[in-house]
Structure 1
Amino acid sequence: MAQVRFHDTNEYIKGAAEVNDFLSTQGIIYEHWGVDRLAPNLRDNYSPTEEEKQQILDAFKPEIEDISKRRGYLTADIIVLSDNNPNLDELLVKFKAEHHHTDDECRFCVDGHGIFAIKGDDGRYFDVELEPGDLISVPPNFRHYFTLMDDRKIKAIRLFVTPAGWEAIY
């Protein structure tokens, strides 16, 4: 389950209902889909083939179709970040630069962990720490950045309205 940590006080919000309640006040969608349905070869695999990526997308097809219908997402793909990426540190520097998008930034964590640091409506920054099975959708124009947790790896489904709307505005 995701948890929220406030930068200024280091206080945490834990528990699915509490996290969801707080994030909904910010217009952020949080859902927990779980990952139990994934075949063993698709878990903890940070070098998936194109066929394995499609198997992951197929495993979550009902949820992807549901949230896509609600939010207007038209495409889905898989992103993998781990020490298998030769340019991981360069990518993380880019992702840690505060930015926003003109579309939602929607991610479903399949494996590993990630942190979305978000500037809230009141100007306070908070982290949403994602675990496998967590989905987050950050609304358009919210200032944020992304980084990995100590395990330095994540495999996630990305959902897009348009590729152009997903481009970062720094």
Structure 2
Amino acid sequence: MAIEAWFMQENDDDQRLPHQKDPPEYVSSGQLADLGVLYWNLDPDRYENDPELNKIRQERGYSYMDMLDLCPEKVENYEEKLKNFYTEHIHGDEEIRYCLKGSGYFDVRDKDDRWIRILIKPGDLIVLPAGIYHRFTLDTSNYIKLMRLFVGEPVWTPFNRPQGNHPARKGYVKSMLGMPLEAY
């Protein structure tokens, strides 16, 4: 099964809606890979003893793992947290999320600074590279259960845009976008 992604129609409608253009402009997994976004589809019912997940974790050095149930009933200050997740930012490290239940959206910027919306649903494991501008929101179901993976100890620090001088952003622009640092 392939990941579902498309260029967003930007407007002020509820952030939890699909925001597809009319007609939709889909983005392939190859286009996402060109931006450094990695994807696997796994069996979410086997996550505790999944040899494929264990192999990915070992090969990529994902030594830390925890779970996050994100919904209004389980998260204090839910609306405020969702708003914070939806603020455009980068991280100094990869962001690795494995959807076990529910669904939501990761939005990433392409080389032309356009938003690409990526739907994640059970079985989707996504890796966003350090330095990529992104944001996250739930969809209208208002529920997702995620496994969060990290190399070493977790770092939760988002750096809100603009971050042109952040080392992770500079590295991303240079290596993934193939652009001079001054151009982006």
User: TM-score normalised to the size of structure 1?
Assistant: 0.77
Partner Cα separation in structure 2 for residue 166 and residue 88 of structure 1: 17
- Tell me which residue corresponds to 2:32: 23
Deviations 1:106-165 (A, max 9, x none): 101000001001011332210101111111100000000000001011001111124464
**Amino acid aligned to 1:7:** M
Deviations 1:72-106 (A, max 9, x none): 22201111101212421111011011111011101
- Tell me which residue corresponds to 2:56: 67
Higher Rg: 2
Partner Cα separation in structure 2 for residue 163 and residue 145 of structure 1: 22
Answer yes or no: is 1:118 the counterpart of 2:119: no
- Tell me which residue corresponds to 2:41: 32
Give ranges in structure 1 of 5+ residues lacking alignment: 38-55
Does the 8 Å contact 2:8/2:117 carry over to 1?
yes
- Tell me which residue corresponds to 1:155: 145
Q: Say if 1:69 and 1:97 are closer, same or farther in 2 by CA, change over 3 A.
A: same
Aligned length: 146
Partner Cα separation in structure 2 for residue 165 and residue 4 of structure 1: 27
Q: Say if 1:3 and 1:88 are closer, same or farther in 2 by CA, change over 3 A.
A: same
For the aligned residue pairs, the C-alpha RMSD in angstroms reads 2.0
1:93 to 80, 83, 95: 83
User: TM-score normalised to the size of structure 2?
Assistant: 0.71
Other structure's SS at 1:150 match: coil
Higher relative contact order (CA 8 A, sep 6+): 1
Does the 8 Å contact 1:103/1:162 carry over to 2?
no
Other structure's SS at 1:152 match: coil
Partner Cα separation in structure 2 for residue 69 and residue 121 of structure 1: 31
- Tell me which residue corresponds to 2:5: 4
- Tell me which residue corresponds to 2:120: 130
Same amino acid, percent of matched pairs: 32
Answer yes or no: is 1:169 the counterpart of 2:159: yes
- Tell me which residue corresponds to 2:94: 104
Other structure's SS at 1:79 match: strand
Deviations 1:17-38 (A, max 9, x none): x74222212111011103344x
